[in-house]
Structure 1
Amino acid sequence: QDIEVVTVNPHLVKRNKENRDNTQSKSDKKDALVIADMVKNGYYAFVRDTSESFEKLRVLMSNRDVIVKRLVSSINQLNRWVDIVFPELRQVFKDITAKGAIATLRLFPSPMELGSMKPEEIVAGWKLLMKRQPGLKKAYLLLNVARKSVGTRQALEAYKFHLEQLLEEYDLAIQQLERVELAIKDELPKIPFANKLLMIKGISEISLAGILGEAGDLSGFSHGNSLLRHAGLHLAEASSGKWKGQIIISKRGRSRLRRFLYLATMSLVMNNPEFKALHSNNVKVKKMKKMKSIMKLIGKLARIFVGIARKNEAYCAKKVQPLTELAA
C-alpha cells in the first residue's frame, strides 16, 4: 500500500525506554511509544531487499551451520566413547574421524573382539570398507594395544548399541554436509561478480557464500566501511575529558558475517601473497599486534569486495601490495 517499511534495533529500544519517564518500567504501550518516537527522530534502518540468489545462499549457509554443529557434536561423542571403551585406539589412529579409525569402530570396536583375531583378518576387514587401507604393521599395533587396553569391560553390548547410533548420526551429518555444500557451489555462479571474487587466491566458495548470504548484494554498499558497519566491525570508543577509554569493536551487526569475514581474512593471510606481505609489514615494520593487523586487513578485504562488486572489475594484486614493496 505504498507504505515504506523500516526497522528499529530492539537494543536501542531497550536503551531509550527510560527517556520517556526516567523509569525502567516496560509495557506494550510504552514500547510502541518509544519505537514511534525513534522513527520520528530518524533512529531506524532501511530494509535492504535482496534477490533470490542471495536469499538462497543465506538459507543454505544457515542450514550448513546447523549441520556442522550436529557433526561436531557427534564427533565429540565418538571421542567420549573411545575414551571409555578403547582409549588406546588413538595410539594407532591419531584422529578418530580418520577413515581407518571409523572403519575399525564399525568392524571391531571393543578390545575384547580384537583379542581373538589375526592381523590378516583385520586387514581383510579394512579392505571391505576402504580402497586404500592400512597394512599389517598397523594391524599388529592395533592388536598389541588391544591386549593391554584399560577400557571398560562392562555393559559392552550397550556401548556397542550406542556406537552404532553415533556412527549413523555421523554418517548422516557427513552426507547432509556434502549435499548442502554442493547446492551452495551450484548457486554461487548465478551471482554476477562471484567469479571475480573467487579469483582472489585464498577465498573459498564456502566463505564467499557466507559473506554474500549475510551481506546481500555488495554493489549496494557505498563503501567497504558500510559493509564493516553492517557486520558490526566498526570501532567504538568510550572517553570523557582526559580519560581515554579503550577502542573496541562494536559488534552491533550480523555475527555470522563477522565470522566469515574473519575466516576469509585468515585464509588470505595464510595463502595469498599480497595479504601475507601486508600482515608481515604490519607486525614487523609497524609493530602492530597480530590480531590488530588481522582486523585492519578485514577492513581491506571489505573495501576490495565492495570495489569489485560496484565496478565489476577483476582483482588486481598490485593495488594490494604494501607501500614498501611498491617503492622498491
Structure 2
Amino acid sequence: MKVTEKIVEVNANHILNIGVDVSSRKLDVHFECALQINKREVYREQIKNRSDEIEKSLKKYLSVAQTKGFLNLRIVCEPTGPYSINLLAMAKHLNCLTAYVSGEAVKNSKVIEFNGTNKNDLVDAEVINSLAERNKVLIHRTYSAEYTRLRILNSHYEDIDKAYVSSRNQVHSTLKQLWPDWSSKKSILYSRTGEALYKCYGLNPWKIVSHNYSYFAKRMRTHCKGVWSSTLKQIYRDAELSVKGHCSDASSTLESILGDHYENYLRGKQRKASLKDEMSEILSEIRQEDPRIPQARKNFISEFHIARLLAETGPLSDFSNLDQLNKYLGLNLRERQSGDYQGKVRLSKRGRSLARKVLSLVTLSLVRKKHLYGPDYHRIKTEKDKPGKLLMCIFMKKFLKSFFGIYRSNQSFDPRRLFIDRGKYEKLNSPIALEAVI
C-alpha cells in the first residue's frame, strides 16, 4: 500500500465566496454562510448586469460579510467574455478578490451536486459557489494597458485576416464566372499586376479585348512598371478566349460584384499592414518594462509573431514553469486509460485556441526542408512514418519550450542548443573548447 500526504487548503483568510452566473442582461448570485455545524444560511438574488446595480449589491454583500466575520469577498464566475466585464471591474474597484471557474467543471459538477444535467441559472450559480468553496478555481489575470491593447488588436487582426481570406476566395470564385479561361497563377491577381488590371479594366475580359494588344500592354506598363511581356500576352490571350462564344450580358453585373470583393481584399490588406505596425510598436513599449522578452531573429520568429504570441500568453513572468504555460495554451497531454484499455494520448486543447494557431503558423515556416526544424521534421516523418499533424504538435511544443527558455535564461537564441542536451552544450561553450576553435 502506498501512503502519501495531501495538503488540504483551508480558508484561513476568512473569504466569503460569491458564486455568480453571468448572462447578458442579468446576474444570478448564490452564496452561503455557516450558522451551525449542520446548518447554513443561503443567500440568492438576481440583479441586472449594470454597473450601478452591481455596485449596490456588492456593497450589500460586503456588509453581510463583515457582520458574519469575513474579511473580504471573492467574486467567482465563468469566463463569459464581455458579459462579465461590469462584474469583475466593479469587484476590483471595491477591492474584492476575483476568480474564474471552468465552464466544463460547472457542467460536470452538476451531475455530482444534483445527480442530473438540468440547466438553469440558479443551479449554475450554486454549483459555481460550491466549486469556489472547494477552491477549484482559475486565476483571473489582469493585464497592463499595453498587454490589454495587444490582446484586443490580436483578436481584431484575426477577424480581419479571416475576412481577408474570404474576400480572396470570393474574388477567385467570381472571376471564374466572369473570366472562365483565366490560366495565370492566382498570385498574379494579388500582385501589382493584378491591382493594375483591376484599376484599368475591372478584371473584365470584354473591356480588355475592346482595344488591341499594343494599347493594352502600354496602358498596363503605365500603371505597373516592370511587368513581363509574357505575362501580359497570356492575360490578353485568356481574355480573347473567354469572350469568344460567350455572352456579355452579365459581364457588367459580375464586374460590379467582383469589384466589391476586390475592394474588400484591398481594405483587408491595408488594415492588416496597419495592425502589424501598431502591434510591433506596442511590443517595443512592453520590452522597455520587460527586456527579457526574446528578440526577433531570422529563421526563428518575427517581431510581429512575438507580438501575437505575447498577446495570447500575457506576461511570461506570470508562469513559474513550462507546464503552466502548456496548460494555459492547451498543449498539455490528455490520457485515456481504463483497465487494459489504453487510448491515444492527445493534446487537451482546453486553452487558448488562437495561441495554438499562432504557434502553428510560426512552426510551419520552421519545418520546411532547409529551415531550422526541417531536417529533423522530414527525417522523423520518413523514417518513423509519423503523421504530419502529430509532428507539428511536437515541434510546436519544442518551439514554445525554446521561446520560454530564452525568456527565463535571458540569453540570446543559439540554434545549436536546440538539438543537444545541456551537458554537451556546456562542453561546447567551455573555455577549452572555445580556445580550440580559436
TM-score w.r.t. length of structure 1: 0.88
Structure with a larger share of its residues in helix: 1
Q: Secondary structure at the match of 1:126?
A: helix
Aligned residue number for residue 246 of structure 1:
344
Letter in 1 for 2:271: Q
CA gap of 1:70–1:280, structure 2 versus 1, over 3 A, is closer
Q: Unpaired runs of 5+ in structure 2? A: 1-93, 429-438
Aligned with residue 219 of structure 1, among 295, 306, 317: 317
Q: CA deviation at 1:185?
A: 1.8
- Asked if structure 2 preserves the Cα contact closer than 8 Å seen for 1:103 and 1:126, the reply is yes
CA distance in 2, matches of 1:77, 1:107: 20
CA distance in 2, matches of 1:122, 1:40: 76
- Asked if structure 2 preserves the Cα contact closer than 8 Å seen for 1:237 and 1:246, the reply is yes
Deviates more, 1:41-50 or 1:149-158: 149-158
Q: CA deviation at 1:69?
A: 1.5
User: Structure 1 residue 74 and structure 2 residue 181: aligned?
Assistant: no
Q: Secondary structure at the match of 1:23?
A: coil
- Asked if structure 2 preserves the Cα contact closer than 8 Å seen for 1:198 and 1:205, the reply is yes
- Asked if structure 1 preserves the Cα contact closer than 8 Å seen for 2:293 and 2:407, the reply is no
- Asked if structure 2 preserves the Cα contact closer than 8 Å seen for 1:214 and 1:257, the reply is yes
Q: Unpaired runs of 5+ in structure 1? A: none
Aligned residue number for residue 106 of structure 1:
199
Aligned with residue 165 of structure 1, among 260, 275, 280: 260
Q: CA deviation at 1:117?
A: 1.4
Q: Secondary structure at the match of 1:147?
A: helix
Letter in 2 for 1:131: K
User: Structure 1 residue 266 and structure 2 residue 364: aligned?
Assistant: yes
Q: CA deviation at 1:215?
A: 0.2
CA gap of 1:199–1:155, structure 2 versus 1, over 3 A, is closer
CA distance in 2, matches of 1:132, 1:219: 50
1:154-208 C-alpha deviation (Å, 9 max, x unpaired):
2222222223322322221121111111111222222334763413632122322
User: Structure 1 residue 301 and structure 2 residue 394: aligned?
Assistant: no
1:97-145 C-alpha deviation (Å, 9 max, x unpaired):
232233223322333223331222112221332232232x433333332
CA distance in 1, matches of 2:186, 2:348: 44
Deviates more, 1:21-30 or 1:253-262: 21-30
- Asked if structure 2 preserves the Cα contact closer than 8 Å seen for 1:13 and 1:31, the reply is yes
Q: CA deviation at 1:46?
A: 0.9
Equivalent runs, 1:145-156 vs 2, <5 Å: 145-149=238-242, 153-156=248-251
CA distance in 2, matches of 1:132, 1:200: 29
Equivalent runs, 1:86-101 vs 2, <5 Å: 86-91=179-184, 95-101=188-194
CA distance in 1, matches of 2:335, 2:225: 58
Aligned with residue 27 of structure 1, among 120, 144, 154: 120
1:4-32 C-alpha deviation (Å, 9 max, x unpaired):
21101112211211211212212222111
CA distance in 2, matches of 1:74, 1:284: 37
Aligned residue number for residue 177 of structure 1:
272
Q: CA deviation at 1:228?
A: 1.2
CA distance in 2, matches of 1:61, 1:194: 22
- Asked if structure 1 preserves the Cα contact closer than 8 Å seen for 2:294 and 2:403, the reply is no
Q: Secondary structure at the match of 1:198?
A: coil
Aligned residue number for residue 25 of structure 2:
none
User: Structure 1 residue 12 and structure 2 residue 94: aligned?
Assistant: no
CA distance in 1, matches of 2:320, 2:102: 22
Letter in 1 for 2:360: Y
Q: CA deviation at 1:271?
A: 7.9
1:212-234 C-alpha deviation (Å, 9 max, x unpaired):
00001112211222111101111
TM-score w.r.t. length of structure 2: 0.67
Deviates more, 1:100-109 or 1:235-244: 100-109
Letter in 2 for 1:185: S
1:27-70 C-alpha deviation (Å, 9 max, x unpaired):
22211110011111121111123222222221111111111112
- Asked if structure 1 preserves the Cα contact closer than 8 Å seen for 2:106 and 2:128, the reply is yes
Q: CA RMSD in A?
A: 2.6
CA gap of 1:218–1:156, structure 2 versus 1, over 3 A, is same
Number of residue pairs matched by the alignment: 325
Q: Secondary structure at the match of 1:5?
A: strand
Deviates more, 1:94-103 or 1:267-276: 267-276
Deviates more, 1:78-87 or 1:146-155: 146-155
Aligned residue number for residue 131 of structure 1:
225
- Asked if structure 2 preserves the Cα contact closer than 8 Å seen for 1:203 and 1:267, the reply is no
CA gap of 1:205–1:262, structure 2 versus 1, over 3 A, is same
CA distance in 1, matches of 2:318, 2:409: 11
Letter in 2 for 1:72: V
Q: Secondary structure at the match of 1:191?
A: helix
Deviates more, 1:201-210 or 1:149-158: 149-158
If asked which structure has higher relative contact order (CA below 8 Å, sep 6+), I would say: 1
